Each structure stands twice: as C-alpha cells, then as structure tokens.
Chains A and B, each alone.
Chain A
Amino acid sequence: MQTPANESSHRLTYVLVFLILGGITAVEIGLTFLGLPRATARALFLTLSLAKAVMVALFYMHLKYDHRLYAYIFIVPVALLAIFAYLTVAS
C-alpha cells in the first residue's frame, strides 16, 4: 500500500516526466529547422521518440511499478511491429 511519501514522490516523477516530454518535443521541432543530414536527423528523431514512448509507458502506464507480465504483453507486439515495419520498408 502506498504511503503519503510514496504518493508525493510519484507526483514529482509525473511532473518531471511531463517537463522532459515537453522539452524533448520542443527539441524535436527545433531540429527540423536545422537542416540536418537526413540519416542523422532520422536517427535523432527515432531515438528521441523512443525515449518519450518509453517514459510514458514506464511512468504514466506504471509498467515500472506493476507486474512484469504487463510489460511482456506490451513489449512483444511492439517488437513484432518493429520487425514487420522494417521488413515492409526493406522490401
């Protein structure tokens, strides 16, 4: 059962995650105006979006705190999606 201290710490985590997500989004928009080489830009954007998605999943969807089974249920189709998308694009 959560203690008041734990509840407060989660709220601070939520705020920090929100600020980081907002900051990353601002950085992404800024990068679009820099005219970076395509390969560099794609690698940067994919990495940043992966970071945002992971943070939402871990902290907002509580995968970090919940039963591991939920994480496996989520990760397996995501991995399949990544493989499927790669094969579709590569063909």
Chain B
Amino acid sequence: MSSMAVSHHDEFKAAKALGISHLKLGMWLFIASEVMFFGGLIAAFLNFKLNVPTDEIQLLDVALVGVNTFILLTSSFTVVLGLDALRQDKPQRLAFFLGMTILLGVVFLGGQAYEFSQLAQQGVTLSSSVFGSSFYTLTSFHGMHVLIGVLWALRNLLGTLRGKYGAESVEGIELFGLYWHFVDIVWIVLFTLIYLI
C-alpha cells in the first residue's frame, strides 16, 4: 500500500490541517511557555537587584561576558547559515555549520563556567546571598538550555552525516533553529538585565 511506503524525507512533513505546520506551531507554543518560565526568574532577579542592592554586582566581568555574548550571537549566525545551506540542498555545508554551532555553544558554556569559578573565588555562590541565588539560578537555567541545544545540534549533525536531511526535509533543522535563536534572545535579555543596567 502506498501509505506504507514512507520515505525518510516524509519524516518531518507534519500535518497541516490549520494551513501551517503543526510541528512548527508546537515549537512556537513551547517557546511561549519558555518565555513565561524565564519571565518568572527574570522578574525575581530584577526585584532583588533593584530592591535589595548589593556590592557583589561590581564583581561581574562585563568584558568577559560581552565576548561570550558575541560567541552566542555568532552561533545563531551559524545556525541560520546552516538552514540556508540545507534549503539549497547542501547538507555538507549544513554539517559544517552545525559543527561550528556546537563548538561555539561549548565555548559559551566554558566561558560561563569560568565566570562562575571566578565569582565563587570571590565569595559569590548560590547560597552566599540573595544576589548569588538569583544570579546563579537565572544564568544556570539558561546554561542548561544551551547545553540541551548543543546536544540537539550534535544529534542533528549525526543525522545530517547519515543523510537524514535535504532540501525537501528541512523542518527538523528549522525547529532546532527556532529553539537555538530563542535561547540566544534570552541571553540578549539576560546580558542586559544582569550585566549592563
């Protein structure tokens, strides 16, 4: 029966009863829930930052984190270039850009770990103060999202190397891109609220 003969290209062809991709709709709804998740953490951090002032905030290394921010922005660039390459049916280039994204994500996480170690040496820990608790909670949850994204990118890279994606089956990479860009947007907001203002 023709319904049994499903090629791997059909794997990500989601239902479109609403005229739009259900998978993509689901990803956007998930992102909406993540906005509310980070919203609660951000609101709590802002409350403590503005209403419970502390000198610990002077210990934050804006230059280091600024470089880290640029690294994450670059990773968003490589993701979108990868998707663009896939749409042109160039999976080898997609694999390259996914590899770059993974590398940049790992470097970002390394930068965060270094920053955390520097702050811990100066006495700012998860339990040292209200600032420490809210700072580490907020940035660590974001870091966890980056780590999940890196693992997802690695899975996508392996799938690409196995020939899973092509110009006719881009949705899997597109969904990953939406997640990664959202994580980038969250960091844009966090960088401003934690380090700049």
Contact = CB atoms under 8 A, between A and B. Distances in A.
Contacts of B184: 56, 60
Interface string B137-179: 0000000000000000000000000000000000000000110
B66 A60 contact: no
Nearest to B34: A77
Q: Which 4 A-B pairs have the closest CB atoms?
A: A81-B39, A49-B192, A77-B35, A88-B43
B68 to A, nearest CB: 10
Interface in B72-119: 73-74, 76-77, 79-81, 84, 87-88
Given A52-B73, A59-B80, 5 more contacts: A14-B81, A46-B192, A67-B19, A88-B47, A91-B47
Contacts of B77: 14, 18
Nearest to A71: B28
If over half of A's interface residues share one DSSP class (helix, strand or loop), that class is named, otherwise mixed; here it is helix
Interface residues of A, number: 42
A69 B20 contact: yes
B5 interface: no
A89 B50 contact: yes
Contacts of B185: 53, 56-57
Given A46-B192, A73-B29, A81 B35 contact: yes
B25 interface: yes
Contacts of B32: 73-74, 76-77
Interface of B: 19-20, 24-25, 28-29, 31-33, 35-36, 38-40, 42-44, 46-47, 50-51, 62-63, 66, 69-70, 73-74, 76-77, 79-81, 84, 87-88, 177-178, 181-182, 184-185, 188-189, 191-192, 196-197
Contacts of A14: 77, 80-81, 84
Interface in A2-16: 2, 7, 10-11, 14
Contact of A28 (B40, B43, B51, B196): B196
Contacts of A80: 36, 39
A47 B31 CA distance: 23
